[in-house]
Amino acid sequence: MIKEEKVIKALNGKAKTKKNSNQNSESSIKQLTPSQIVEELDKYIIGQKNAKKSVAIALRNRWRRQQVSDNMKDEIMPNNIIMIGPTGVGKTEIARRISKLANAPFIKVEASKFTEVGYVGRDVESMIRELSDLSVNIVKTEKMKEVQQKAEENTEERILDILIPPVKKSAAANGSPDKSEENEAGKSQEEINSNTREKLRTQLKEGNLDKRMIELDLSAENYPMLQVLGPIGLEEMGININDLFGNMMPKKSKKRKLSIAEARKVLTQDEANKLIDMDAVIKEATEKVQNSGIVFIDEIDKVAGGHSKSSQGPDVSREGVQRDLLPIVEGSTVITKYGPVKTDHILFIASGAFHISKPSDLIPELQGRFPIRVELNSLGEEEFYKILTQPENALIKQYKALLKAENIDLNFTDESIKEIAKIAAEVNEQVENIGARSLHTIMTTVLEEILFDVPDKNKKNKIEIDKKFVNDKLNSIVKNRDLSRYIL
Widest Cα–Cα separation across the chain: 101
- The lowest-confidence range among 131-135, 277-281, 391-395, 412-416 is 391-395
Same domain, 47 and 133: yes
**What local confidence, expressed as pLDDT, does residue 24 receive?**
44
Closest CA to 287 of 132, 141, 142: 132
Same domain, 269 and 154: yes
Range of the domain at 385: 381-487
Give the mean pLDDT of 208-218.
80
Give the mean pLDDT of 383-400.
89
Same domain, 89 and 44: yes
Residue 84 DSSP one-character state: E
Average pLDDT, the chain: 77
Same domain, 116 and 38: yes
CATH code for the domain of 292: 3.40.50.300
pLDDT in tens, 81-115: 999 888 888 888 888 888 788 778 888 888 888 87
Residue 179 lies in a domain: no
Its pTM stands at: 0.73
Amino acid at 262: E
Closest CA to 58 of 32, 39, 80, 73: 80
Same domain, 315 and 366: yes
CA–CA gap between residue 156 and residue 359 (Å, rounded): 60
Which one of 254, 275, 296 terminates a domain? 275
- The lowest-confidence range among 166-175, 221-230, 422-431 is 221-230
Confidence band of 2 (pLDDT split at 50, 70, 90):
very low
**What local confidence, expressed as pLDDT, does residue 17 receive?**
44
DSSP result, 102-164? HT--EEEEEGGGB--TTSSSB-TTHHHHHHHHHHHHHHHHHHHHHTHHHHHHHHHHHHHHHHS
Residue 182 DSSP one-character state: B
**What local confidence, expressed as pLDDT, does residue 22 receive?**
46
Same domain, 482 and 388: yes
| Percent of the chain's residues with pLDDT above 70 | 74
CA–CA gap between residue 297 and residue 362 (Å, rounded): 14
CA–CA gap between residue 436 and residue 419 (Å, rounded): 15
- The lowest-confidence range among 96-100, 124-128, 216-220 is 216-220
Confidence band of 459 (pLDDT split at 50, 70, 90):
low
Domain count, the chain: 3
More confident call, 439 vs 185? 439
User: Is pLDDT above 60 for 188?
Assistant: yes
CA–CA gap between residue 310 and residue 319 (Å, rounded): 13
CA–CA gap between residue 154 and residue 267 (Å, rounded): 9
Amino acid at 323: R
Burial of 257 from C-beta contacts in 10 A (0-12 / 13-18 / 19+): exposed
Cα 193 from chain centroid?
Answer: 47
pLDDT in tens, 337-373: 999 999 999 999 988 888 778 888 888 888 888 999 9
Residue 14 lies in a domain: no
Residue 79 lies in a domain: yes
Residue 9 lies in a domain: no
**Consecutive H or E run containing 351:** strand 347-352
**What local confidence, expressed as pLDDT, does residue 170 receive?**
54
- The lowest-confidence range among 29-33, 292-296, 383-387 is 29-33
Query: Residue 372: beta bridge partners?
Result: 81
